[in-house]
Structure 1
Amino acid sequence: MNIHSIDAPVILDRELFEEFADALTDRAPEIERDVAKLRKMPDDPETTADLFRAIHNIKGDAAICKFELGVAITHPIETMMARFREGEIPLSDMLAELILLAVDRLELATDALISNKPLDSLHLPTLVQGLLDVTQEPRAKIEASSAELIEAVTGFPPVIPDIAGPARKNSKAKSENYNINSDLQFFRSLALQFESRSPLFKGRTMRILRLAHETNKAGNNAVDPIQLEAAVYLHDVGMMLLPESIWLKVGKMSAEDKVFLRNHPGFAAGLLLRMPGWEAATEMVAQHHEMPDGGGYPNGLTNSQICPGAKILAIIDAFEAVMLKHIHRGKNRSVLRAIAEVNACDNQFAPEWIAPFNTVIRKTIEA
């Protein structure tokens, strides 16, 4: 296998490749379902055959469109499944997690190639070589080797605790005048109203607040924590001024939906702007969907024009969104997927805040 075809794959036929991507999107949930079934009923021959067939079909599709990375990832999984089918090895918890991670990385790589994004943060050569090594491991070492490879690829242990710990208390807000504390309580009540619109949002505000405070702290408190707290509470409140059919929509948004959605930062910022003392928070809320490369909204600002608080919010808001999107895959995978997507978007987020954010996630997990 040519390492360059793994590290920097080339799309030879875009139409065929997009068909591969569509098929992968359809098959990935089937693989997750079959792995979950086999964890409960490892002796089920029908599910074993279904899983083997799904992996084999992805490999065949990758070969047809000459996507060597797809073959390189699926071939060792197919080999491990053959060993499992023959009773040579069990489908241990770590081996199951490794299979799911490999398919997930293949999805991310495929999406990145279609969008012309870099693949460096996915650590694909490490994954491919590690998968090949695991296929050769004796039964007794499969579990440990799988766990080591998961951590080598993701940078995080394969078992992740709940990252939604309590938010850091803001003593400054409590010790200052009544108006600030009263405003924050009101802002928080609005955020909780937003949360109540969907059961999937439960706990969202405090998760984002904790990560925002800790990321700011890891970045030497470059942002006023009180202003940042207000921005966390209000950054998405403008959604409630849009039709629920748009921002609670399941599935892809239409072009018209996206135009409507781009109004929500302005609504929330407009409310804050009319309250004295919250100018910095207003700026954060207005800019939290801007991107360093100028591809964000509503004003297409570039890196130097975006305030640090908005850059923090952009990272954490995206992390939370990916977590929510993939939570059906389980906590471990949704966290690892969210971390991978945030770190893969080199143009969407400010690089100076990615490292502090990663530090926070790592410390939370290690604690």
Structure 2
Amino acid sequence: MGQFACKDFSALDQELKDDLLECYIEAQQEIEAIVNDIESSGFSHEKLDNLFRSLHSMKGNCSVCFLDPLVDALHRLEEIVDGMRGGYIAYDSLLGELINLVLDKILHLLRQLHQYHGADTALLNLLQSYLDKIYAEDDHQGRIRYAEAFFAKINDDEAVEEEKAKQEPESLLVKVTFDEAQQQDIEHFRQLSHRLNKLLGYSPERGERILKLSLLINQECSDPVDKAQLSAAAYMHNMGMAMILKCAEDEAAKQRAERNHPMVGAQLLSKHPGWDQASEMVITYKERFDGSGYPEGLVGGMIPQGAFILSMAVRFIDVVWGKSGDEYKKSAMRAIQKVNSESGKGIPPHLVDAFNRAVRKLLVAKRR
């Protein structure tokens, strides 16, 4: 799939990009409410003027943030709405649906640029092509036919995506092969993880979720780490947090236990022969690419790749599922932002890219 980028947009502060996305969604909801009001209560030029103002504001916000390809698509839609205001394009329920669908697809492109710094060129071209045809068509029935053809094309593309999604789940389950000794240790590590997470107030399934995401991120890396070692690290990474249970109300002791827990977990792992790589991942998973982490303040290549993978998986799962993990919270976007904001700071950029590819697969599967 070809992609286009908006490099100046990607270079903006994360807070500004977050604000833009929020403003776009608010304007989109305003426009959808106006279209629904027209359908339920009847057409009026005042309603259409309000719709145009919201659309124009949306376009202006995108222009300020260097989203020129999206501005071009919004301008084409704006021309159609302006034609309705001028009376030379007749408002029609189908065109109202078209407005909502186009804005929804532009939001999809905006989210791709916001998350992944690249968006679907084919979708952008499709939007621009049909909006040009509808605007240039003089005959009302001709416009309706173009709108219907646009809906059909979008539905066909979504059907293709759904078919792809049906094939995705198999790739979400990464097979790991253990030898006999490793299998016994892994079962032991799994039980320890299950018990400790319950004691700490997390879902007992937290370790499994972190493991599955770690393996999926690893699969997206150009040079993946040993899957068995990563599995052990995923189960054992927070074993040192058991020390917090002994701290009662002593906040200073809790802080020391938090800071030392990677070393404690690594020491526990080191008592089992053959898990040296896993132990290294655990002791360094709180280190940061820029050297500002703990417990040793390691920097860059001194930190094993598996530690970064584990760190991203833990961060994502704990934001999305929360502490109890009783239900999936609608905070995947915040979790994605949290990881992406660490690119080049806490996590090497190429590993954040691997994370994004992995989470994209998860979101496709969840949507299905």
Under a length normalisation based on structure 2, what TM-score does the superposition of the two structures give? 0.57
Matched residues, percent identical? Answer: 19
Q: Please give the per-residue CA displacement for 1:153-182, whole angstroms capped at 9, x wherever unaligned.
A: xxx769957969985565527664755532
Match of 2:148 among 137, 140, 143: 140
Give, as a single letter, the amino acid of the residue that structure 1 aligns with 2:148: A
Residue equivalent to 1:358: 357
Give the whole-Å Cα distance in 1 for the aligned partners of 2:183 and 2:18.
56
1:1-367 matches, within 5 Å, as: 7-9=6-8, 24=20, 26-31=22-27, 43=39, 53-62=53-62, 65=64, 67=66, 69=68, 71-72=71-72, 74-76=74-76, 78=78, 86-89=92-95, 91=97, 95=102, 97-105=104-112, 108=114, 121-123=117-119, 129-136=125-132, 138-143=146-151, 145-146=153-154, 170=176, 172=178, 176=182, 178=184, 180-191=186-197, 197=202, 204-216=206-218, 222-235=224-237, 264=258, 266-275=260-269, 276-277=271-272, 278-292=275-289, 294=290, 297-298=293-294, 299-317=296-314, 320=317, 328=330, 338=336, 345=343, 348-349=347-348, 351=350, 354=353, 358=357
Provide the alpha-carbon RMSD of the alignment: 5.8
Contact 1:127/1:149 (CA < 8 Å) preserved in 2?
Answer: no
Contact 2:343/2:349 (CA < 8 Å) preserved in 1?
Answer: no
Q: CA deviation at 1:186?
A: 0.9
Give, as a single letter, the amino acid of the residue that structure 1 aligns with 2:265: L
Q: Which runs of 5+ in 1 are unaligned?
A: 110-118, 244-259
Q: CA deviation at 1:224?
A: 3.8
Q: CA deviation at 1:51?
A: 6.8
Change in Cα spacing, 1:99 to 1:295, as seen in structure 2 (3 Å) is: farther
Q: CA deviation at 1:344?
A: 10
Higher gyration radius (CA) = 2
Q: CA deviation at 1:215?
A: 4.5
Give the whole-Å Cα distance in 1 for the aligned partners of 2:217 and 2:17.
34
Q: CA deviation at 1:286?
A: 3.4
Contact 1:208/1:316 (CA < 8 Å) preserved in 2?
Answer: yes
Q: Which runs of 5+ in 2 are unaligned?
A: 85-89, 134-145, 246-253, 323-327
Give the whole-Å Cα distance in 1 for the aligned partners of 2:165 and 2:344.
25
Give the whole-Å Cα distance in 2 for the aligned partners of 1:295 and 1:74.
43
Count of aligned positions: 318
Give, as a single letter, the amino acid of the residue that structure 2 aligns with 1:312: I
Contact 1:164/1:207 (CA < 8 Å) preserved in 2?
Answer: no
Give the whole-Å Cα distance in 1 for the aligned partners of 2:242 and 2:15.
37
Contact 1:62/1:71 (CA < 8 Å) preserved in 2?
Answer: yes
Q: Please give the per-residue CA displacement for 1:310-332, whole angstroms capped at 9, x wherever unaligned.
A: 13224444555676699638x8x
Under a length normalisation based on structure 1, what TM-score does the superposition of the two structures give? 0.57
